[in-house]
Structure 1
Amino acid sequence: MKKIYLLLLMLTSFVSFGQVVNGSFETWSQTTNPDNWTFEAGTTLTQDMTTVNDGTSSMRVDVTTATQGNTDFRQSVPVVAGTVYDVSVDVYHTDSFAAARLFAGNYQGYSDQNIVGSWQTINYVYTATTTGGVDFGLRFYDQTGFSGSSVMYIDNFRVTAQATPSLAITSPTDGAIVYSQDVNVAFSVQNFNVDSPSNGDGYITYSLDGAANISKFDTTDIVFTGLSFGTHTVDMELVDNAGASLSPAVTSTVSFTISQVQLLPFTDSFNYTDGELLANQPAWTNYFSGDDVIISTDNLSYSTLNGFGNAASFDGSGSDPLVDFTPTSAGKIYSSFMLRVDTFDATPSDGYFAILRNDSGSYIGRVYISPLTATTYSLGVSSGNLDPSQIAPAVLNVGDTVFVVFNYDLDADTVELWVNPTLGGTEPASDINTMSGSTGNTISQFLLRQDNPGTTPALIFDELRLGTTWADVTPSTLSTDNFISNADFSVYPNPVSNGTVTIKSASNNPMSVNVFDVLGKKVLETKVSNNTLNVSTLKAGVYILNITQNNNSITKKLVIK
């Protein structure tokens, strides 16, 4: 039995890969670079035989730039989907002017630059979501006191597959945005035989959004159909044949958001409840995490365009909410909005806050705020650069409402910006424009960005419009018929016991209604044009109504007795 178990461990090690080549930095065919690793010009690398933590040599790193994006140190390591790897690297600081940051498929933890003169280890547990080569390595960041040079030593970089049972959800990835209400959850189990009780090591239990656990006796995908729009969480666990947790427990969790693609033209007047999170509204999804953009009562007006409802308020760093809209690969995508900058940070700098993204997630059109004084600023654009490539000549005042239009021309690959243009009529010449460095784009998202206090001032954002023509985003007046909120709707009787629900809104246009159970499964989809929804086929219970009218959506809870 011991021989069989040893063979299993050897086979597991073989199929799991994960071995860094030259992780102890012993081999240097070139004096400026350890074998099997890549580096960039912001660092100088040399072999060192004195300050060593493993083997006979280490890597000395001279950080010579404050541009962290020019300091990447990488190696592609083969991994197997679902396998869990222990990642570690030893760091020795000679000063506190720079820090090393671990890269394991993405950016992870930092070294402590204040630990000077002794070795420290950065650790991370990495779960592979794909099979193939994944980048591991370091990036180096300047810290307080950096003046162009910092020295540290690196040794013993390891990526080692764990030999204990592991469970990993491989798709969708955590935080993913999904554009279908039917979702397959793929996962991988290592070092554990999943089967019916007494035929294997144990089985799997899983749940959706905290509901009761479901037992699963194989490793095929978990299939969910008709999930509601919004965020869902799947929890999975390996259990023994008696259904008890392993010791230690082996679990995996993924949260993903089902996003509703908005049709163009699209308008959002932020007519939501004061204090709610923008990401919790039907059309919006958070990208990244952090402080949320919130709804405030500061609705804005410009010329004859009077704001309706509330507005969005944000500043500093935090989450970046986005809207998914009809993917467009030809013609132009226009965006317009009202903006009021309220206050700048004590040391403000240029920062972008409104973005058009392509379907691969690249920022191909950005609007910048460029501070001039503590109370004035200008607006600029770029087509993907980190700094504005063009600044509009208009000097704008803190506290004033500004109407902004910007677009991306998919045929000419240009970005244009208008500041306080005349509403309605034909499209005038833009105030500024710039050429794009990319071609063949498909634009499908608008994103609001919160970077940091220095680049994102406190501001109010209102009346977002997205379209494919100038007329779509520059109406001369605002019609409230186009906007809906929960307050605009009444659903009664609720609870309902006679199989018929009345839905009334401020608009007379038809509604699309989807009904979901508490597990997120769609149980009814219909059109409503006479204010009457037939729910006689549904069992008693609690349901969620998703009501769409005039390209906007709201949700209501419905109780059936």
Structure 2
Amino acid sequence: MKKIYFLLFTLLIASASFGQELLVNGTFEGWDDTTTPSGWSKAEDVEQESAEVHSGDYSAKHTGGTNDIAQTITGITPGTSYTVSIWYKIDAASGDDTDARIWSKWSMDGVVDHNTDADVLQGVGDSGYLDTNGNQWTQYTTTVTAPTTANEFYFEVRTYSGAVVYWDDFSFYEQAVATPSVNITPEDGTEFPSGTTTVDLEYTTFNIDLSTSGNQVNFTVNDDETIVDATSPYTIIVADGETYNVTADLLENNVIVDTKTISFSVSNPTTTTQVANITELRSGSIGDEFVYELTGEAIISYVVTSSTRNQKYIQDADAGILIDDADGIITTAFSNGDGMTGIFGTLADYNGLLQFIPTQNVASASSTGNTVTPIVVSAAELITNGEAYESRLITVNNVTFSATGIFEAVTNYDLTDGTDVTLARTAFSDEDLIGANIPTSISSVTGLGGDFNGTYQIFPRYASDIAEALSINEFNVNTFSLYPNPTNTGSVTISSTNSEAMSVQVFDILGKQVKNETLTNNTLNVANLKSGVYIVKITQNNATTTKKLVIK
């Protein structure tokens, strides 16, 4: 019982930030024998008592006479305050209150400090004696401060003739020392708007008197400007686009006792630039101060529902980008195939993947029901030219999965095409692809082009994105050539080892056919096509292949 009580007592002391208990065996739970409590240097006519206790199993009992229990407490810190606490019960035969008393003395290495009262606990009860208090267990507690010439405390309780006194649960511990501290504003991480020219540094101190010489606050700004004995507030001059690191040192007696550091910044002025397409957008600058308006229409190829970042993949005829809307700025509901026009936002980079962070809502879809046709690429093309396909719907054809079993969420899978190996990542964990069987045959994989720190990959969405290899009869690589590619001459040449006519179809990135011609002279006129990326489908002798064509 006593151990549980004093464990709780110790926890309460700790929670109140008191110091270490210095009294030995103040609980009287330890006894060398039935008349000698352990750790006490003086024990006159004292008995181990188990029937009358304040808590635990034992107390100490004095019966009549002038008898003492005493202990010298060492480890005292001069000038420090200590709390004394005891529990007692007096059965006084005479019924008065003159039967028990506490004695105490400060000393330095055993020599009594005569500059203080010998009995520093004088004044207990009436005339310095403990009150009988109706023969009830009573607590006495007080606070004493060690003089600068003391390192020991002599603690003694005494019983006089005519009384039976029970002692229990003594304690002597250092009081919590209020530590000087400082807080400063503005708060760490504050960003002030562009145009801010001054910022007030303010501090609040605790448990220290700044009117005392040697007690002060010093500010250091960006390690190159120190303000000694700063007033609060202290105004500093700031500029757009700059970051400021401020340290506040609190000094007591010219010694640093607490330090706080914050960092704040001032934004750059915001500029808004209109861009006609995603290609122009992707060439913009990263940073919150650069706002772009995408004036041309972009089509949503995929709305991500497996995260809370409100992400949407969008693309136009030339390029794609991922809208990352963690703050939920776009509140209008959009679906796959919807057109979006007039999107405002800034650019950010996430592990190599360019993202568009919206700054305004888009009121409604500019069109609906659009179909985005994936660009067919080889594993080698994705590996070497992946930036061109970032965040666009693509199909990697004629590849084999190295793994077997079922698709698991958020997992990388190798896609092999001969010696070329690229990655498919199951990034969308709530779609039906998760749990579907991994094919063992040559396949085509459709999904969004991705980039993770320079490693290009594809993010398939649905189980239907994994299919048999596309039925395209590809010629030997030496059979066809298409040049110049890229081109800005208005025409391209398609050469073949076969002299027969070729049927040529050209599709834009949205899958719309923009040309359908039969060539007999190997020259395809593309002068009427806008700059961008196109898919050229070539058919000759019932064999078909596709080529990518870039028009500048």
Q: TM-score if structure 2 supplies the norm length?
A: 0.26
- TM-score of the pair, normalised by structure 1: 0.26
Q: Relative CO higher for 1 or 2, CA cutoff 8 Å, sep ≥ 6?
A: 1
Structure with larger Rg: 2
